[in-house]
Structure 1
Amino acid sequence: MKSELEKREILLESGTNEVEIIEFYLGGQSFGINVHKLREIVPYEPEAMTSLPESGPSMKGMLLLRGKTVPLVDLGSHLRKRQVENSVERKVVLVCEFNREVNSFLVDGVNQIHRISWKDVKPLDDFFTPYKPRFTGCITVDGREVMIVDLEHVITEIFPEQTIFGEGEVEGAEEADAFKRGSRQEVKILVAEDSNIIRNQIVSILKSSGYEQVTSFVNGEECWNGLNMLKAEAAHKGQDLREYADLLISDIEMPSMDGLTLCKKIKTDPVMKELTVIMFSSLINEQLAHKCQEVGADGHISKPQIHALVKMLDEYCLK
């Protein structure tokens, strides 16, 4: 399965606003995750799992995988999906990597990989508001709803210490000299991030570091529309776009328009192409780094390295 996933990664072109979702089952219901997070699928071997004392109900234990142990989360238990009796002969484990960490998730089974457009990812109805942080949206496949699971949020619920931005990580938030903080205040930054929690954290930390002029957007499409409004205003006043925006920080995984597509549009626009674009995503690995370069991104950093992000902003904006 791993080699097949690697082949599919090569075939998926950068900046087309497409994503591949692998569909899996929990309690008879379909769920999905971005294939970019998936390293491999392995059969569940109970004898390879070590239980942890006093762990939460959804923390299955530590799974021995080729000589290394990784946390094993019972995803059905965490999402409170009841087991359908006699429906699962043998469960499987999704081994995933994001935020520079490897975790594994126990599921009832997998179906297939679906290639879709980010425009096909629908936001959840208000009925699901209490559960929204655990899901990024849903898609319709062959008449059935597939809920897209936010594995990053699931992990932070189980391991609060792995929250995306720990306190005290940002170098320069308090120690920056007056000159640097004053220079940061002049920089105009845009942020495209679909998670309300993460978006607010990024904006808060940037402002506490001295980058006070921050405008945020809930996805790539909203950011693209906002940039076009700034472009029109700059043209009307005979000004350079840099008077309105110096740098964009963008997530990759976003509904409506993903970060790679947003970056590609910016870098192929004759007016916007000089805007510095930094991809800040939990998905950054060797393949995704290459795709960031393909669409013209000026830099890329994996979450949760917020301290490194601030340093990169200084390198690009405080010249």
Structure 2
Amino acid sequence: MTGVLSTVDARTQLVGQNRLELLLFHLGGSQYFAINVFKVQEVMRLPHLTKLPDCHPTVRGVCHVRGHSVPVVDLRQAIRMGKLGVDDEEANIIVTEYNMTVQAFLVGGVDRIVNMNWSEILPPPGGAGRQHYLTAITRIDDRIVEIIDVEKVLAEISPYNMQLEDDAFDRPLLDRVAGKKILIVDDSSVALGQMKQVLNPMGLEVIEAHNGLEAYQLLMHWKAEGMNIDEELVMVITDAEMPEMDGYMLTTEIRRDPELKDIHVVLHTSLSGNFNKAMVEKVGCNGFLSKFKPHSLAEEVQRIIREKLDGPSA
């Protein structure tokens, strides 16, 4: 399975085409789950684990991967389905990078990689409740595949502190834009909540959208109503991976529209590395922020406000 990931560079061509590739796996049962291949570094058989004292109960231990110690999370247990019950000989780990940290997820069998369009990826059913661990679902070979909200899993294992001291905010500057809109776009309820902890104290009207299509339709609605979007909307902060329309395609559509093309768009994503920086330039985002860095988020928003009000600094 390791070899199948060796051509990731070629997959950058998917960006801007509203496409993605999913790695399919199961957690000891017949149900299939998935994560985006771009977050996967390696897939391998379960190696020897070293136990850690006083760690989170879902962390089985650490293993060594290419000279680095990597924590191994029992993904089945983390999403509250009970511990993974397969024999160690049948278990695998998926080594991933999120938010510039590397961790591995203990899973059962790893199936294959599938290439899909984001329009085929749908939000979880409305009746699924608020506590589920899914960002999306899709159908492959007439079977439902559940796409896991890894950000929620990681936030529960190692919670982020998004609260900022008051000196992080330029109050005279923010008073000048009190009540202005800022649109945040993310399919993870955890990510939306974390951003709001930073943005709400700024006095902005924070408006949520749960995927790129929902955000684009909202922008179209505002335009149809005759709203002066450039005046009322400070910026759009969007995730990259989302059902129905990803953040790259959302940015592309904004740039194609003469009335929207000057909106400031920042990509805010757990996907990290030089790949994202290159893709930001390709689709026309104004900037890139890694999750979850509250100071960086606050600084970027205030920098854009200052630039919109007073012009670019020399």
TM range (shorter): 0.7 to 0.9
Does residue 218 of structure 1 match 2:183? no
Render the CA deviation track for 1:89-142: whole Å, top value 9, x for unaligned: 43221100011111111111211111112222233335532642x111211111
Given residue 207 of structure 1, which amino acid in structure 2 is its aligned partner? N
User: Residue 153 of structure 1: CA displacement?
Assistant: 1.2
Q: Determine the structure 2 residue equivalent to 1:158.
A: 157
Given residue 167 of structure 1, which amino acid in structure 2 is its aligned partner? Q
Distance 1:91 1:294 in 2: 39
- Is contact 1:121–1:255 with CA below 8 Å preserved after alignment? yes
Does residue 198 of structure 1 match 2:191? yes
1:98-117 residue pairs with structure 2 within 5 A?
A: 98-117=98-117
Distance 1:146 1:315 in 2: 41
**Matched residue SS, 1:180:** helix
Distance 1:288 1:2 in 2: 22
Distance 1:211 1:314 in 2: 12
Q: Determine the structure 2 residue equivalent to 1:232.
A: 224
Distance 1:251 1:285 in 2: 15
Q: Give the gaps of 5 or more residues in structure 1.
A: none
- Is contact 1:183–1:318 with CA below 8 Å preserved after alignment? no
Distance 2:53 2:230 in 1: 56
Q: Give the gaps of 5 or more residues in structure 2.
A: 308-314
**Matched residue SS, 1:138:** strand
- Is contact 1:284–1:300 with CA below 8 Å preserved after alignment? no
Q: Determine the structure 2 residue equivalent to 1:138.
A: 137
TM-score, length of structure 1 as denominator length: 0.86
- Is contact 2:238–2:247 with CA below 8 Å preserved after alignment? yes
Deviates more, 1:101-110 or 1:173-182: 173-182
Selected match of 1:272 from 245, 255, 260: 260
Q: Percent identity?
A: 30
Provide the alpha-carbon RMSD of the alignment.
2.3
- Is contact 1:252–1:258 with CA below 8 Å preserved after alignment? yes
Given residue 223 of structure 1, which amino acid in structure 2 is its aligned partner? A
Given residue 41 of structure 1, which amino acid in structure 2 is its aligned partner? V
Deviates more, 1:107-116 or 1:10-19: 10-19
Q: Determine the structure 2 residue equivalent to 1:292.
A: 280
Deviates more, 1:14-23 or 1:88-97: 88-97
Render the CA deviation track for 1:13-37: whole Å, top value 9, x for unaligned: 3222111110012112311101111
- Is contact 1:22–1:111 with CA below 8 Å preserved after alignment? yes
Given residue 306 of structure 2, which amino acid in structure 1 is its aligned partner? L
Q: Determine the structure 1 residue equivalent to 2:311.
A: none
- Is contact 1:140–1:146 with CA below 8 Å preserved after alignment? yes
**Number of residues paired by the alignment?**
304
Distance 2:190 2:42 in 1: 29
User: Residue 4 of structure 1: CA displacement?
Assistant: 4.2
Given residue 152 of structure 1, which amino acid in structure 2 is its aligned partner? E
Given residue 147 of structure 2, which amino acid in structure 1 is its aligned partner? I
Distance 1:202 1:83 in 2: 32
User: Residue 211 of structure 1: CA displacement?
Assistant: 4.1
